[in-house]
Amino acid sequence: MSHLIHDRFLQLALELQSAPEFRMVAEVLCHRLPDQISGGTEGWLITVTANGERISVGHGREGDSWGTGALSDRGYSQDFADLVTQLRPQDKTRLGLRVSEQPELAEACATGFETGREFSDMLVGHLMTNGRNHCLLAIPRETGRFDDEALRAFDYFLLLSRAVLDRLAADNLGRQFRKIYLGSPPSAHAAVFVLHANGDVLPVNFEGIRFAETSWGDDQAFGRIDPFQMKQLRTSLQAAWVDPATAEFHPIDITFAGGQPVAFVGLPRPDGEILLVHFPKDASVCGDEALSAVLTRRQKEIMGWIAEGKTSAEVAIILNISPRTVEKHLEAVFQRLGVENRIAAVRRYLDLKAGILD
């Protein structure tokens, strides 16, 4: 590893670590990194759809941004499917491989990456998984073989890229939630759920629990989606992925046992979980008379956002007022509700909103 600690690799690592979006990660890996690896020519990023046995358009070759590369949407061989399985880091420790060390993989790589020309060696590794998709990085060499230092450099940047892509995925989660909340009126309190890979749906906030109590029954701690509907949802949510690290909320309908379809927006995560958000039509009026008897319209707006976990500064931005004004309203709310802090105020506010007057 000491051979890697020199200026050119350090500069690339810094660029990669600070990349604000997937496009910049692809730029470093496809166009900058191959120039620094002895014998490398160019890099390719492709997305492989596992169940659909398809290879999507990738970044690299003539492409200058994600989705405009020369790779076409096509099927792939079983040999290449086996390669994808072999590369997938089940325990997060599997790194890249040299095709020259496993000659039986050469033909699979040639057909899978559709090189269109001869190559003598290739470094290939798994970057990340999002849902059914696997994103792979490959750097070919036209003559000779990659040496150990080239493989170490490839592994180093593969590991760093995985960490960067995990960060981008986490940043995207917060960004998408902010977009959906800021785009909704304060009275539209969202019911939020997590849909696990096995089909279990768990509420994660107060409105979600209320929805569960009214829709699933008192004896059910979680909802359940059957395998057939789960497959349909995953297929539908393929359209939510903008690139391998970025997804957006996508409208979907879910039918729970014995019920009618319910409108949600879903956000798939790289780990396979799906975040679901539903806006109950009656959420804004339940207990409204009790709240109106105690709080003003503005105080109810502020408490609605505070109950969703917003800070005073965030509420101020949302309502276009000053943080000091928010704090003054909260002081009045504490007095009217007979409480001394935010936690107690939120608890009392939610009770009143649900019609619990005692």
Q: What is the mean pLDDT of residues 285-292?
A: 57
Reply yes or no on whether the pLDDT at 251 is more than 50: yes
Backbone angles phi, psi at 159, to 5 degrees: -65, -45
Tell me the range of 42-51, 60-69, 145-154, 185-194 where mean pLDDT is highest. 145-154
Write the pLDDT tens digit of every residue in 196-227: 988 899 988 878 877 887 777 555 667 888 89
User: What number does CATH give the domain 288-353?
Assistant: 1.10.10.10
Q: What is the mean pLDDT of residues 67-74?
A: 41
% of the chain beyond a pLDDT of 90: 14
Q: Which residue has the higher pLDDT, 76 or 302?
A: 302
Reply yes or no on whether the pLDDT at 276 is more than 90: yes
Band of the pLDDT at 52, cuts 50, 70, 90?
Answer: very low
Reply yes or no on whether the pLDDT at 258 is more than 80: no
Are the folds of 184-278 and 288-353 the same? no
State the pTM of this model: 0.66
Is the CB of residue 281 less than 8 Å from the CB of residue 180?
no
Q: How far apart are the first and last CA of the chain?
A: 66
CA distance 146 to 181: 50
CA distance 251 to 202: 19
pLDDT for the residue numbered 286: 46
Token pair, residue 319, equals: 């309502």
Band of the pLDDT at 65, cuts 50, 70, 90?
Answer: very low
pLDDT for the residue numbered 339: 86
Q: At what angle do helices 297-307 and 312-319 cross, to 10 degrees?
A: 130
Reply yes or no on whether the pLDDT at 274 is more than 90: yes
Segments making up each domain of the chain, as ranges: 2-166, 184-278, 288-353
Q: Which residue has the higher pLDDT, 244 or 19?
A: 19
Band of the pLDDT at 182, cuts 50, 70, 90?
Answer: low
Torsion over CA: 288, 294, 298, 303 (sign): negative
Q: How many CB atoms lie within 10 A of CB 219?
A: 5
Which residue shows structure tokens 């995990």?
166
Is the CB of residue 242 less than 8 Å from the CB of residue 18?
no
CA neighbours closer than 13 Å in the CB half-sphere of residue 79: 12
Average pLDDT in the chain: 77
Q: Which residue has the higher pLDDT, 159 or 142?
A: 159
Band of the pLDDT at 311, cuts 50, 70, 90?
Answer: very high
Contacts of 102 (CB under 8 A, 6+ apart): none
Is the CB of residue 290 less than 8 Å from the CB of residue 355?
yes
Is the CB of residue 296 less than 8 Å from the CB of residue 288?
no
CA 3 from centre of chain: 35
CA distance 354 to 178: 25
Taking domain 184-278, whether its CATH number is 2.60.40 is answered by no
Is the CB of residue 26 less than 8 Å from the CB of residue 172?
no
Q: How many CB atoms lie within 10 A of CB 24?
A: 15
Amino acid at 315: V
Write the pLDDT tens digit of every residue in 112-130: 565 556 778 888 888 888 7
User: What number does CATH give the domain 2-166?
Assistant: 3.30.450.40
pLDDT for the residue numbered 62: 39
Q: What is the mean pLDDT of residues 251-257?
A: 86
